[in-house]
Amino acid sequence: MRHGNSGKKLGRDSAHRKALYSNLAGALIEHGRIKTTVTKAKAVKPLAEQMITLGRRGDLHARRQATAFLRSRDVVHHLFAEIAPRFKDRPGGYTRIIKLGPRPGDAAEMVYLELVNDDDYAPKVRGTATATAAAAPAAAVVEAEPEVAEDEPAEDVEAVEEETTAGEPEAEVADPEVAEPEAEAEPAAEVEPEAEEPPAADPA
């Protein structure tokens, strides 16, 4: 049983497999791109990225560790002098796999294992997005709500209004031209003043 034995054996013993990984990683660092099978590429990809991480460290111990794995001082010098400075701001993900399709001979899936372009990465500034969201005024959130209603088609609004007013009798509106003229107000009847009574004669 192979409990805890991670990784692919690739039909090789341990010494042969270690030499294969060293050669593939060294070729990738030296040329920037290699063409291999998808199984070998997935197996050597984490090892090559580990070598680039050692190059980013740049101390003597990291250089000795890289030399022990890559077995070539020229490749190690190229790694520490040219490759590692390219990825000084990238926290990982130095390589990528591009599929090419089956190989004509045995239909093995072929891929490109290559170093990514250092221009593809833009370092994120921590706290910028949080600070911007916190500083946004609450009015901006309130103004965004009516915009959703504007996207609705006008036909739906008219249909809702027709359904709401359906069944209700429309109030008859009198046409000003057809409406009968109002009856003129009759003048108030004149009230005759009451005759003044003559003063009563005094008894003699």
pLDDT in tens, 100-157: 999 999 999 999 999 998 766 666 666 655 545 555 544 444 444 545 445 555 555 5
> What average pLDDT does the segment 20-42 reach?
97
For residue 115, give the nearest of 102, 97, 130, 131 by alpha carbon.
Answer: 97
> What average pLDDT does the segment 25-44 reach?
97
Which structure tokens are listed for 12? 């090789």
Give the range among 34-48, 77-91, 103-117, 189-203 with minimum mean pLDDT. 189-203
Q: In which band, very low, low, confident or very high, does the pLDDT at 2 lie, cut at 50, 70 and 90? A: confident
> What average pLDDT does the segment 37-48 reach?
97
Q: How far apart are CA 112 and CA 34, in angstroms?
A: 6
Look over the chain and give the mean of its residue pLDDT values, rounded to a whole number: 78
Residue 204: predicted pLDDT = 46
The CATH number that domain 14-118 falls under is 3.90.1030.10
List the chain domain ranges. Answer: 14-118
**What string of DSSP letters covers 4-45?**
T--S--TTS-HHHHHHHHHHHHHHHHHHSEEEEEHHHHHHHH
> What average pLDDT does the segment 32-45 reach?
97
Element (H, E) at 168: none
Residue 9: predicted pLDDT = 92
Q: How far apart are CA 29 and CA 65, in angstroms?
A: 15
Residue 144: predicted pLDDT = 47
